[in-house]
Structure 1
Amino acid sequence: MVLPPKPPPEEPDKEPPKIPAEKLNPLVKHSLRGDAAKLHARAVDTVPLLGGIMFLGQATIIYAPPNAGKTLLVNRFIQDAIDEGRLDPNMLFYINADDSGKGLAEKVEILELQNAHVLAPGLKGFRVNQFVDKLIEATQDGTARGSVVIIDTLKKFTNLMDKARSSSFANVCREYVMAGGTIIALGHTAKNRNADGTLRYQGTTDILEDFDAAYVAEAIPGSAGASEKIVRFTQEKSRADSPQEVAYAYSTEHGLTYAEKLASVRPVYPEELESSLLVAEMLDDEKVIERIRGLICGGMASSGQDKLVRAVADDGDISRSQARRVLDRYTGTDPDKHRWSVQKGDRGKRTYSVLRKPQAEPGG
């Protein structure tokens, strides 16, 4: 009888073969494993730096309409931060690319008294097209850590309407912040507002998306006294425990020097801000009321609610939501409370008529 062949003897478990170094996943060489201590060493603590809304170790964008006072307020925030020991003036680099010759001289004079740095395109060999390279250089050689770079204004250094360029610039700023630096950029709002009446930032969404924090600054019409302006900062985005809104006021008295305006800046407390917003809302209502009255008397009385609202908002400085709110608020039959009445016709169509207050009788 033929016996079956014996099975081969069992071999001990073998370790899987090692992958040659040249065949490792290409991502391995970029791994930060083992570098935690180095990363901690170059990072900075995220703490309030300027105005309670701009934080150390972050990239922040402040949007505002022209002449709202954002540059004035940021310069005052800088002074306060230096005086209170929160900011080393030798580590501050204010890039002034949006000023007149006299305005630049005034700001340099003020900041150099505090030992801070001001840079301006065209002076001391500084060029706009060099700025990104300088940020990259500081990121790579470690000198970004602890520095604060203020960009005034952002549109001078990147095309905000070009998605690729603004995204590339935002990436450079992100790397600078990751290396322990701080970026604060000042930008403008668009001429046309959002549908809800709020200010709309200028450019694509890339800066807003890639920066850590964003605030919109707006002067409140009719606020404070006749010689003072209140500016409210409203949060659009934040990655720190920063307030939803803050407000500051400064003097608009004729004849003040820039230094005197800086000295006049003061915080506005919540109860004062609330009162100022109510006054501003009433002033806004009067503007919208006059627009609606003019359209009703000008031949749009029977156009219906929607067409009337769209016509009120056509110029762009009044939102549709604001127009509809004012139209509804002042619709009624009491001339002391309302400005126009309405009659509903077929299919709910509305026809408006301007109300006129009764004239007082002679001798009454």
Structure 2
Amino acid sequence: MSDVKKGQDWLDAHTNKVDPYKRLMEMKVTEEIMEKINDAKFAWLDLIVEGHMSVICAKANGGKTTLMVHAAGEMAAAGYKVIYINADASASDIKHYAHHAKEFRYELINPDLTGGTPEQIVEIFKDWTRSDSDFSSTVLILDTLKKFTDMMSKNHGKGFYSILRSLTAKGMTVICLAHTNKYDGQDGKPVFEGVGDLRNDFDELVYLVPVKNDDGTITISTLIDKSRAALKDQSFLISKDREVSLLPNHVDTLSLAQYQKSLVEDADVIGFILEKIKPISRSVTELHAISQEESTGYSRKRLEGVLKRYCSGNCHDPKWLAMAAPTYGIKYGNINPDYAAKLKSEWGLKV
């Protein structure tokens, strides 16, 4: 061994040389982690994992309470002791939920109507963490999370989440309902309300993305943001009477919600195009020429974008057909209502 190598070995041994990869390797996916993912037992569908902390986020009136009330009934029927703490509903809504809880045999707790407070409930949770009870068959649902902790306070939130984590260590399944911000992210996806630790402290973070159907029903799909098990996205139909049914296929409601937003923004251009293609199919060049003649102010780029966005093949609810045509490339014309309905049903939507 050279003197240089000996000197380097001595230096490494006496200076406690830091492994540059050590901190990163603490996040390495190990066999143990993979076994936990594969061995996860679901309490409800492929969404709620037994013994995990899950947070379900949606906008106000986004269907989270209706969906979880339905889930509570199904989990109770499966043999779990379900405790649903609703600290966010009005007295009239609680009456409806109480009938459901009685029918499906789970416990409905409301501090406002019984002289209690969310703070007292948190103290009860602390007592549970100190008990020797086995909570492996218990499902706790908190509606909503902001009633029990300050969502904008990092320290306050962490303290409450640590209590819930202690309950999961005793086998309890914890589900928290939370709100999303009023405005979506730049990618169009919802963003949870509160500090970033919310995502870090929960095992699963799932968004609910609703779209309203023409008949007054609501289609809701999950958008899994974080998971420590093999979750699968699901879609549900909520009737006007708040009845919930599981749909056979997942519906991309995020794209549909973005479509509905675009529909409002493009309404005037859509109306112009529909009027001009009603008597005869036209190309973007022809439509742009008409727009210039009538001084509507629609640029070729704007017309082309709207034509492509709502044509058959690109849209779940197409406004017109796109047809190959000599010289013009593509012409746009009227679409048969039956064919439009068929395309809509293929997206899993009601027609």
Superposition TM-score, scaled by structure 2 size: 0.63
Q: What is the deviation of 1:104? A: 1.0
| Residues in 2 aligned to 1:353 and 1:250: alpha-carbon distance in whole angstroms | 36
The correspondence for 2:62, drawn from 54, 65, 68, is 68
Partner residue, 1:96 = 86
Per-residue CA distance 1:44-73 (angstroms, 9 max, x = gap): x84212343111101000000111111111
The letter for the 1-side match of 2:238 is Y
CA RMSD of aligned residues (A): 3.0
Contact 2:149–2:156 (8 Å) recurs in 1: yes
Unaligned runs of 5+ in 2: 1-38, 271-283, 292-297, 308-351
Contact 1:340–1:355 (8 Å) recurs in 2: no
Per-residue CA distance 1:106-149 (angstroms, 9 max, x = gap): 21222123332111113445321122221121122133522211
Partner residue, 2:264 = 287
The correspondence for 1:184, drawn from 164, 175, 181, is 175
1:341 is aligned to 2:294: no
1:77 is aligned to 2:68: no
Contact 1:97–1:121 (8 Å) recurs in 2: yes
Q: What is the deviation of 1:154? A: 0.5
In structure 2, do the counterparts of structure 1 residues 149 and 354 end up closer, same or farther at CA, with 3 Å as the change threshold?
closer
Contact 1:335–1:355 (8 Å) recurs in 2: no
Partner residue, 2:237 = 249
The letter for the 2-side match of 1:285 is S
Contact 1:149–1:184 (8 Å) recurs in 2: yes
In structure 2, do the counterparts of structure 1 residues 142 and 113 end up closer, same or farther at CA, with 3 Å as the change threshold?
farther
Per-residue CA distance 1:277-307 (angstroms, 9 max, x = gap): 66655433322335999xxxxxxxxxxxxxx
1:126 is aligned to 2:116: yes
The correspondence for 1:212, drawn from 203, 207, 210, is 203
Partner residue, 2:188 = 197
Contact 2:144–2:178 (8 Å) recurs in 1: yes
| Residues in 2 aligned to 1:176 and 1:355: alpha-carbon distance in whole angstroms | 53
Partner residue, 2:166 = 175
Partner residue, 1:232 = 221
- 1:349-364, aligned counterparts within 5 Å? none
Per-residue CA distance 1:172-226 (angstroms, 9 max, x = gap): 111111111111000011111111111111001112211110100011244xx51
| Residues in 2 aligned to 1:355 and 1:65: alpha-carbon distance in whole angstroms | 29
SS across alignment from 2:266: helix
Partner residue, 2:340 = none
SS across alignment from 1:113: helix
The letter for the 2-side match of 1:139 is T
Contact 2:144–2:176 (8 Å) recurs in 1: yes
Partner residue, 1:56 = 50
In structure 2, do the counterparts of structure 1 residues 122 and 289 end up closer, same or farther at CA, with 3 Å as the change threshold?
closer
Aligned residues: 247
In structure 2, do the counterparts of structure 1 residues 355 and 162 end up closer, same or farther at CA, with 3 Å as the change threshold?
closer
Partner residue, 1:266 = 245
1:148 is aligned to 2:131: no
Per-residue CA distance 1:63-95 (angstroms, 9 max, x = gap): 001111111111111222233x2x32xx22111
In structure 2, do the counterparts of structure 1 residues 211 and 277 end up closer, same or farther at CA, with 3 Å as the change threshold?
closer
| Residues in 1 aligned to 2:165 and 2:43: alpha-carbon distance in whole angstroms | 18
Query: Which is worse superposed, 198-207 or 115-124?
Result: 115-124
Unaligned runs of 5+ in 1: 1-44, 294-331, 343-351, 358-364
SS across alignment from 2:287: coil
Per-residue CA distance 1:233-277 (angstroms, 9 max, x = gap): 10011111111x21101112xxx4xxxx33xx1112336x25x66
| Residues in 1 aligned to 2:114 and 2:74: alpha-carbon distance in whole angstroms | 28
The letter for the 2-side match of 1:216 is Y
| Residues in 1 aligned to 2:63 and 2:90: alpha-carbon distance in whole angstroms | 15
Q: Select the structure of larger CA radius of gyration.
A: 1
Percent identical residues: 23
The letter for the 2-side match of 1:127 is T
In structure 2, do the counterparts of structure 1 residues 277 and 65 end up closer, same or farther at CA, with 3 Å as the change threshold?
closer
In structure 2, do the counterparts of structure 1 residues 288 and 144 end up closer, same or farther at CA, with 3 Å as the change threshold?
farther
| Residues in 2 aligned to 1:154 and 1:179: alpha-carbon distance in whole angstroms | 21
